Amino acid sequence: MKKVILLVVFAMMFAACSSPKYSYHFDRHDYNSGMRAKIASQEAVAETLTPAPLMANEITASTEVAPAIPTAAIKKEDIQAKISSLTKEQRVELKKELKAELKKIVKNKKALDRVDSSEKTNEWDYDLKIAAIFRS
C-alpha cells in the first residue's frame, strides 16, 4: 500500500515539475503593434483634416468662441419694423428659435467652463489599489 501511495506522490511531483506543453515566446511578440496601428490611423485622419493653406488676400477666422457680430451697423428701427410686419405665428416661431439658440449658447459656454474630470475619476489612487488588493 505504501508503494502505491509513494508511486502516486512521485508521479504527481514529476507531472508538476515537468515543463509545460505550450510555452509563450515573450521575446518574439510585439507588444506595441496595436499602439502603432492606432497612431497610424490617427495620423491618417489628421492628414485628411488639415486645412488648405491660406492665401494672403483670404480672410482668416477667429479661434475664440463668441457669437458672430456683423460689421454693418444694425438699426433698432429696422429690426422693429421687420418684427412688426410678421404675423403672430411667425413671431411665435421666431421666439422659439431664439430660445433654442440661446439654450445652445448657454450649454456650449457651460461645457467650456466645466473642467473635464472624467479621466481623473477613472484612475485609481495607488493607496486605493493596494487597499483593494489586500482587503480580503
Q: List alpha helices for the chain, DSSP H.
A: 2-17, 33-49, 76-84, 88-113, 118-122, 126-133
124 Cβ partners below 8 Å, 6+ apart? 132
Residue/partner pairs of 95-103 with CB below 8 Å, 24 or more apart: none
Cα-based torsion angle of the residue sequence 7, 12, 17, 19 in order, rounded to the nearest 10 degrees: 110
Separation in Å, CA 51 to CA 33, 62, 66, 118: 30, 15, 22, 30
- pLDDT tens over the chain, length 136 residues: 888 898 998 888 877 776 666 666 666 767 777 777 777 777 766 666 666 666 666 666 667 776 666 666 678 888 888 888 889 899 999 999 999 999 998 988 887 766 555 555 667 778 888 888 887 5
Question: Are the C-beta atoms of 45 and 37 separated by less than 8 Å?
Answer: no
